[in-house]
Amino acid sequence: MGAQKKDPTKHGIKPEEQPPVVQVDRNLYLGPIHENNVGQLRRLNDIIFPIDYEDKFYNGIVSAPQDLVKFAHYKDLTVGAICCRLENKPEGKMLYIMTLGVLPKYRNMNIGTHMIKYMLDVAKNVYKCKGVYLHVWVPNTKAMDFYKKLDFTVGEICKDYYKNVSPPDAHIVEKLFGEDN
């Protein structure tokens, strides 16, 4: 029995159906995250976030639909990423933002805003979600301000959400889609 060939449809999307790179402006585009570049995501997350993500997280990323996991490339440098998943909740299908991060040097350039707006569009128009939500670490006031500017609402505090950081609590932040957004 010879070596097995990799199935190009492993992610459920044939190569010819993979979403194209999303050109945001002259200097910024969103590109796919897959098994050949997921190590780059791991390095970004190590720099950006105060928590370590396990292999299980990265394995889920490479098997996720390609329009839910994107790198942000600024002038051909990988400077950020957004990783999401779909969840069925009592109120309906929701998009959960697992991670959104931009390297410190590239913040305040609207890169995070462009990634969020892309995912809001995908959630509403491709997956017909009722809204988007995420957890934000309680001390992360900059992130809270960022999401509030994008009309997300801050909900309850989820006690002991995080492991290995203090405090371990997170705000639940969400944006529900209505007729006007």
- Whole-number pLDDT of residue 165: 84
Mean pLDDT (the chain) is 87
What six digits make up the tokens of 84? 């999401």
pLDDT in tens, 78-114: 999 999 999 999 989 999 999 999 999 999 999 999 9
- Whole-number pLDDT of residue 40: 96
User: Are 84 and 68 spatial neighbours (Cβ–Cβ below 8 Å)?
Assistant: yes
pLDDT in tens, 31-54: 999 999 999 999 999 999 888 899
pLDDT at 178 over 50: yes
- Whole-number pLDDT of residue 2: 46
- List active site positions: 96, 135
Q: What is the mean pLDDT of residues 137-146?
A: 92
Which amino acid does the sequence have at 57? F
What is the pLDDT confidence band of residue 145, given thresholds at 50, 70 and 90?
A: very high
User: Are 67 and 19 spatial neighbours (Cβ–Cβ below 8 Å)?
Assistant: yes
Q: Residues of the chain with pLDDT > 70: what percent?
A: 87
pLDDT at 21 over 90: no
In DSSP terms, 71 is beta-bridged to 31, 81
User: Are 107 and 116 spatial neighbours (Cβ–Cβ below 8 Å)?
Assistant: no
